[in-house]
Amino acid sequence: MYAVERQQMILERLRANGRINARDLSRELGLSVESIRRDLITLEQQSLLKRVHGGAVDIARLVIPEPPMAERSKIKTAEKERIAAVALDHLPDSGVLFMEAASISVMIAERLPSDRDFLIATNGLLVAQALSALQNVEVLMVGGRLRHRSMSTVDDWALESLRSLHLDTAFLGSLAYSASAGLTTGDAADAAVKRLILGIAEKNILLAEAAKYGAISVCRYGEIEDLDMLITDDSLSESAREELLEYGLEIVTA
Which residue in 214, 219, 241, 221 sits closest to 230, CA to CA?
241
Count CB-CB contacts under 10 A for residue 221.
Answer: 22
- Mean pLDDT check: name the lowest of 1-5, 89-93, 246-250: 1-5
pLDDT in tens, 200-222: 999 999 999 998 888 888 888 99
d(CA 206, CA 200): 15
Strands 182-185 and 176-178: antiparallel
pLDDT in tens, 145-171: 999 989 999 999 999 999 999 999 999
Give the per-residue pLDDT at 65. Answer: 63
Give the per-residue pLDDT at 16. Answer: 74
Q: Number of helices and strands (H, E) in the chain?
A: 10, 15
pLDDT in tens, 33-79: 999 999 999 998 887 887 877 888 777 666 566 666 666 656 668 89
Buried b (16+ CB within 10 A) or exposed e, 46-74: eebbbebebbbbbeebbebebbebeebee
Strands 182-185 and 201-207: unpaired
Residue 192 in contact with residue 220, Cβ under 8 Å?
Answer: no
pLDDT in tens, 224-235: 999 999 999 999
Q: What percent of the chain has pLDDT over 90?
A: 59
Please state whether the predicted TM-score (pTM) of the whole model is above 0.85. Answer: no
Q: How many residues does the chain have?
A: 254
For residue 31, is pLDDT > 90? no
Give the per-residue pLDDT at 47. Answer: 75
Count CB-CB contacts under 10 A for residue 246.
Answer: 12
Please give the residue that has the higher pLDDT: either 3 or 117: 117
Which residue in 48, 65, 57 sits closest to 218, CA to CA?
65
d(CA 34, CA 11): 17
Contact residues for 251 (Cβ-Cβ < 8 A; gap 6+): 229, 230, 232, 236, 241, 244, 245
Run of H or E including 189: helix 188-200
Residue 199, amino acid: G
Which residue in 224, 234, 240, 237 sits closest to 254, CA to CA?
234
Helix (H, G, I), strand (E, B) or coil at 99: strand
Q: How confident is the model at residue 237 (pLDDT cuts 50, 70, 90)?
A: confident
Q: How confident is the model at residue 99 (pLDDT cuts 50, 70, 90)?
A: very high
Give the per-residue pLDDT at 15. Answer: 75
Give the per-residue pLDDT at 61. Answer: 62
Average predicted confidence (pLDDT) for the chain: 89
